[in-house]
A = this chain, B = another copy of it.
Amino acid sequence: MPAKDKVSEAVVRRLPVYHRYLERLEEEGVTRISSQELGARMGLTASQIRQDINCFGALGQQGYGYNVSELRRHIAEILGLGDDYGVVVIGAGNIGRAVASYTGFARLRFRVEALFDTDEARVGERIGDAEIHRLDALGAFLADHPIDIGIVATPAAAAQGAADMLVAGGVRAIWNFAPVDIAAPEGCAVQNVQLTDNLLVLTYHIHNDAPGGGA
């Protein structure tokens, strides 16, 4: 329990970014870094970096800065990166398959243990090490296998139902790619990806920003 008070969601969202940049610095062989320079790289103020890091204790050293590997390891621990996670994917369409076979996962110690779909034609097919099961079998599967994360990649209409089944099966977190906001009770974290929303932010800028930034 390293967290001081309550860590704001804004800070939590920056944590993976810190981890990413620190990993990079380690690769470059940089062993120490000041909030000043880390800020310059990440496009944040030195002040903010010190505030953020201090949510988790005094990890720096006056006059020296931060030890890159030490800080990276500490943030990795806060993010739960040491653990490994069992994952199921609901919906074996384009997105479900792509996410299931995403290579970044192995590196992170995620095991995709099964996919589920209502389409009979897909049942039995294998995606990497995992097999596609019929959605009906989800409840039983969750009862037998300790699954931490459920990925929802169904059409909009099926998403909340899928989420409810996952929650009932004791899943701790849901990663939702369906184009609807999903609700889950406390104790089950949800991240909505909303690819289309994200894309429309781009069309907004294409449509409304002056081309070239000036004219």
Contacts and interface: CB of A to CB of B under 8 A. Distances in A.
Contact of A205 (B20, B101, B173): B173
Interface stretch (A30-38, A57-65, A73-81, A138-146): A73-81
A200 B79 contact: yes
Given A19-B200, A187-B213, A208 B149 contact: no
Interface stretch (A8-16, A46-54, A113-121, A158-166): A8-16
A155 to B, nearest CB: 9
B95 A204 contact: no
Contacts of A197: 13, 16-17, 20
A29 interface: no
A202 B186 contact: no
Interface string A168-203: 000011110001110001110101011111111111
B3 A199 contact: no
Contact of A202 (B7, B189, B208): B189
Contacts of A101: 94
Interface of A: 3, 7, 12-13, 15-17, 19-20, 43, 78-81, 83, 85, 94-95, 97-99, 101-104, 108, 148-149, 172-175, 179-181, 185-187, 189, 191, 193-214
Given A16-B197, A81-B203, 7 more contacts: A3-B208, A7-B208, A79-B200, A81-B200, A95-B102, A149-B203, A185-B213
13 contacts: A16-B198, A20-B179, A79-B203, A104-B179, A148-B206, A172-B205, A186-B212, A187-B211, A187-B212, A189-B201, A189-B209, A191-B198, A191-B201
